[in-house]
Amino acid sequence: YGDASQKIDYVFKVVLIGDSAVGKSQMLARFARNEFSLDSKATIGVEFQTRTLVIQHKSVKAQIWDTAGQERYRAVTSAYYRGAVGALLVYDITKRQTFDHIPRWLEELRSHADKNIVIMLIGNKTDLEDQRAVPTEDAKEFAQKEGLFFLETSALEARNVEDAFLTVLTEIFNIVN
């Protein structure tokens, strides 16, 4: 990845959405700073974090927005979605309810965001395989039906987190180029 001092060719806004406690903030901490905390407070209070990387010889600043504890249904404001070109729609593989709420989040996202937004469905916490409540196949099928990318991740083990963000960013890059 390129260093941050070079000129920026693109800024892509990507939003994180999904129920509370699914691991959105820890996924962002992993991607932006390669950090993880097991006792993360509900909110860091920062609207977004950035990381600059190089895609096909262009420098891309990823501006990743994190909900500040507004995960109640319809509490996320339209300003949050405004200008977003990518979204990570996150559930917790050990909490069925967080997966059952995904259609709502998707509907909210689609009603607020650009119609060409790149969306990836994420099943987080794969390190807790023994507590799994959402079969991979269910999520895969849903993603396919809705035309979403899909990956299972562990922010704790740094598994697939980089891949998830890079897939979304590269897809956005290919759309604008």
127: partner contacted, choices ligand GDP, Mg ion, none (Cβ within 5-8 A by kind): ligand GDP
Q: How many CB atoms lie within 10 A of CB 36?
A: 17
Q: Which is nearer to Mg ion, 11 or 21 (CB)?
A: 21
Q: Provide the minimum distance between the beta carbon of 42 and Mg ion in the complex, in angstroms, as a whole number.
A: 6
CB of 65 within 8 A of CB of 50?
no
Name the residue with the smallest CB distance to Mg ion: 25
Using CB under 6 A as the binding rule, the residues of this chain from 101 to 160 that contact ligand GDP are 124-125, 127-128, 154-156
Residue 95 interacting with ligand GDP (CB under 6 A): no
Q: Tell me, what DSSP letter sits at residue 159?
A: B
Q: Which is nearer to ligand GDP, 3 or 130 (CB)?
A: 130
Classify strands 10-17 and 149-153 as parallel, antiparallel or unpaired: unpaired
Query: Please, which residues have CB within 8 angstroms of residue 3's CB and are 6 or more apart in sequence?
Result: 52
